[in-house]
């Protein structure tokens, strides 16, 4: 193919492509233990609620109406109005319909945001600053230019019981005129780290001081789906861009992202959507609008989704400790998301090689090197870590951990 520079940028094989290929491949092969992907758990109580909502929408004619008509480029207006009212009532946010836009999932939101605030400008070149890595695998390759991201390695705090925690290293954080956007996720994928309210306020002040936006990827966070196990309050203001998603609520196939920002940015987003894809999907928006209207969204998250993942994370830690009785296994303190981040200190092979060995044994995890966007090369720490999804059945979780334990005995 005679591709343009833009086309060539996306011709190479990326970490997120690797992840999604493994997800597809694993689902197609019976017996493979899928502890690598990011598909949310199939929680029967949640499925039952969604089925009831869809039946209600079908009976009322709203389902067919939603599928048969375009929404505006900003997204389904009735859902946007319900969301604005929700955040006003629940958190006192000074927010209106003009502060919210829907997208085709958070990944498309990141593509627009990263390339709109970073890259070549009339006065030079801007970059996205990630103030704490490891971070989300999907950030690495969304830039249409090379080296769009710069990042700061996290400060590591060792905790009792074989745990550790990442923290923003504010003392060494470099922010200058080359930064166009500051980006964090909360909870962080892959580590499950949750930035404290104070860390959010410090980053917000730094962003304001340098007149750049602070983007918070809230795909797993509060108030929905609320897969978060520590104390954390929702954070937003006019200089903050909050990206949310319906995927981890249990609707990944609906491909619905939510962007909350100032009105100027939302108008820009709507224009970008109209140009690139006409309008976002309305199906997920219609389903969740019904949950908000019935007053059950928060109960769904707080009483069903959050407890499920918390119990499963505790089970995964218990199984790991029982199978791998070795002080060199360090686990990032589970504070949220649907992953455990494992650090194999002093491992005799890289986790990239360990990944291949585990794959041959029928276990899929994700090697750590993909989660350090903005770093010049994979560090020893990056090549000593893996991300493990704990949402599969308890039987698969135990089976996968036993495979991991056997392989580690040959690598340490």
Give 363-395 pLDDT, tens digit per residue: 999 999 999 999 988 899 999 999 999 999 999
Does the residue 386 lie in any domain? yes
Q: Which residue, 79, 47, 93, is CA-closest to 293?
A: 79
Q: Which residue, 89, 93, 338, is CA-closest to 225?
A: 338
Q: Quickly state the pLDDT bin for 17 (edges 50, 70, 90).
A: low
Q: How far is CA 59 from the centre of its chain?
A: 34
Do 103 and 138 share a structural domain?
Answer: yes
Tell whether the model's pLDDT for residue 229 goes beyond 70.
yes
Does the residue 91 lie in any domain? yes
Does the residue 178 lie in any domain? yes
What is the structure's pLDDT at 390? 96
Q: What is the mean pLDDT of residues 312-319?
A: 97
Does the residue 363 lie in any domain? yes
Do 278 and 313 share a structural domain?
Answer: no
What is the structure's pLDDT at 377? 84
**CA dihedral sign of residues 104, 270, 84, 194:** positive
DSSP string, 97-144: GGGEEEESSHHHHHHHHHHHHSEEETTEEEEEEEEEES--GGGTT--S
Do 291 and 367 share a structural domain?
Answer: no
Tell whether the model's pLDDT for residue 115 goes beyond 80.
yes
Tell whether the model's pLDDT for residue 31 goes beyond 90.
no
Does the residue 107 lie in any domain? yes
Do 266 and 195 share a structural domain?
Answer: yes
Do 280 and 257 share a structural domain?
Answer: yes
Tell whether the model's pLDDT for residue 283 goes beyond 60.
yes
According to DSSP, the β-strands at 214-217 and 179-185 are parallel
- 140 or 195: which carries more pLDDT confidence? 195
Residues 6 or more apart whose Cβ sits within 8 Å of residue 51: none
Do 291 and 304 share a structural domain?
Answer: no
Q: Quickly state the pLDDT bin for 8 (edges 50, 70, 90).
A: confident
Phi and psi at residue 182, in whole multiples of 5°?
-110, 130
What CATH number should be reported for the domain holding residue 323? 3.90.1150.10
Q: How far is CA 274 from the centre of its chain?
A: 25
* Spatial separation of the C-alpha atoms in residues 240 and 216, rounded to whole Å: 7
What CATH number should be reported for the domain holding residue 270? 3.40.640.10
Q: How far is CA 9 from the centre of its chain?
A: 23
Q: What is the mean pLDDT of residues 387-412?
A: 94
Do 308 and 378 share a structural domain?
Answer: yes
Which tokens sit at 400?
A: 């996968």
CB 167 within 8 A of CB 154: yes
What is the structure's pLDDT at 22? 64
Tell whether the model's pLDDT for residue 296 goes beyond 80.
yes
Do 402 and 262 share a structural domain?
Answer: no
CB 226 within 8 A of CB 194: no
Does the residue 337 lie in any domain? yes
Do 111 and 228 share a structural domain?
Answer: yes
Does the residue 66 lie in any domain? no
Do 123 and 226 share a structural domain?
Answer: yes
Does the residue 191 lie in any domain? yes
Q: Quickly state the pLDDT bin for 29 (edges 50, 70, 90).
A: low
For 196, the domain range is 71-156+165-296
Q: Which of 142-146, 264-268, 301-305 has the lowest mean pLDDT?
A: 142-146
What is the structure's pLDDT at 37? 81
Among candidate residues 240, 262, 296, the one where a domain is terminated:
296
Q: What is the mean pLDDT of residues 180-200?
A: 97
Q: pTM for the complete prediction?
A: 0.93
Q: What is the mean pLDDT of residues 167-173?
A: 96
Q: Which of 18-27, 28-37, 227-236, 279-288 has the lowest mean pLDDT?
A: 18-27
Among candidate residues 277, 296, 315, the one where a domain is terminated:
296
Do 176 and 95 share a structural domain?
Answer: yes
Q: What is the mean pLDDT of residues 60-70?
A: 95
Number of domains in the chain: 2
CB atoms within 10 A of CB 176: 8
Q: For residue range 143-159, list pLDDT tens digits in order.
A: 999 889 999 999 999 99
Among candidate residues 296, 328, 355, the one where a domain is terminated:
296
| Percent helix, strand and coil across the chain, each to the nearest 5 | 45, 20, 35
Average per-residue pLDDT in the chain?
Answer: 93
Do 292 and 307 share a structural domain?
Answer: no
Q: What angle, rounded to 10 degrees, do the helices at 394-411 and 306-323 form?
A: 40
């Amino acid at each position: 193919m005679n591709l343009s520079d833009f086309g060539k940028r996306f011709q190479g094989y990326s970490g997120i492509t690797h992840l999604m290929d493994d997800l597809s491949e694993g689902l197609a092969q019976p017996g493979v233990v899928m502890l690598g992907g990011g598909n949310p758990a199939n929680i029967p109580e949640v499925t039952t609620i969604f089925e009831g909502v869809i039946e209600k929408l079908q009976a009322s004619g709203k389902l067919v109406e939603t599928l048969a008509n375009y929404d505006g480029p900003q997204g389904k207006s009735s859902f946007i109005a319900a969301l604005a009212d929700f955040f006003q009532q629940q958190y006192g946010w000074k927010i209106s319909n003009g502060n919210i836009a829907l997208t085709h999932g958070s990944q498309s939101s990141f593509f627009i945001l990263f390339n709109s605030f970073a890259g070549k400008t009339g006065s030079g070149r801007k970059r996205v600053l990630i103030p704490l890595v490891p971070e989300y695998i999907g950030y690495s390759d969304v830039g249409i230019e090379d080296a769009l991201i710069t990042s700061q390695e996290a400060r590591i705090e060792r905790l009792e019981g074989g745990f550790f925690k990442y923290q923003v290293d504010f003392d060494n954080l470099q922010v200058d005129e080359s930064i166009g956007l500051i980006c964090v996720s909360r909870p962080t994928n892959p580590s499950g780290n949750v930035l404290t309210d104070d860390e959010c306020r410090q980053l917000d002040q730094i962003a304001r001081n340098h007149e750049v936006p602070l983007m918070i990827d809230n795909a797993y966070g509060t108030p929905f789906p609320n897969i978060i196990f520590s104390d954390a309050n929702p954070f937003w203001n006019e200089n903050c861009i909050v990206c949310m998603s319906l995927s981890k609520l249990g609707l990944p196939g609906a491909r619905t992202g939510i962007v909350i920002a100032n009105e100027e940015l939302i108008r820009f987003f709507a224009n970008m959507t109209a140009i690139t894809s006409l309008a976002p999907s309305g199906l997920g928006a219609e389903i969740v609008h019904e949950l908000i209207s019935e007053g059950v969204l928060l109960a769904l998250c707080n009483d069903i989704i959050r407890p499920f993942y918390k119990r499963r994370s505790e089970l995964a830690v218990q199984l790991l400790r029982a199978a791998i009785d070795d002080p060199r296994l360090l686990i990032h303190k589970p504070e949220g998301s649907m992953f455990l981040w494992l650090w194999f200190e002093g491992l005799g092979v890289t986790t990239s090689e360990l990944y291949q060995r585990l794959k041959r044994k029928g276990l899929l995890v994700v090697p750590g090197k993909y989660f350090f966007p903005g770093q010049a090369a994979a560090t020893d720490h990056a090549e000593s870590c893996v991300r493990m999804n704990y949402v599969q059945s308890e039987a698969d979780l135990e089976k996968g951990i036993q495979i991991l334990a056997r392989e580690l005995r040959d690598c340490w």
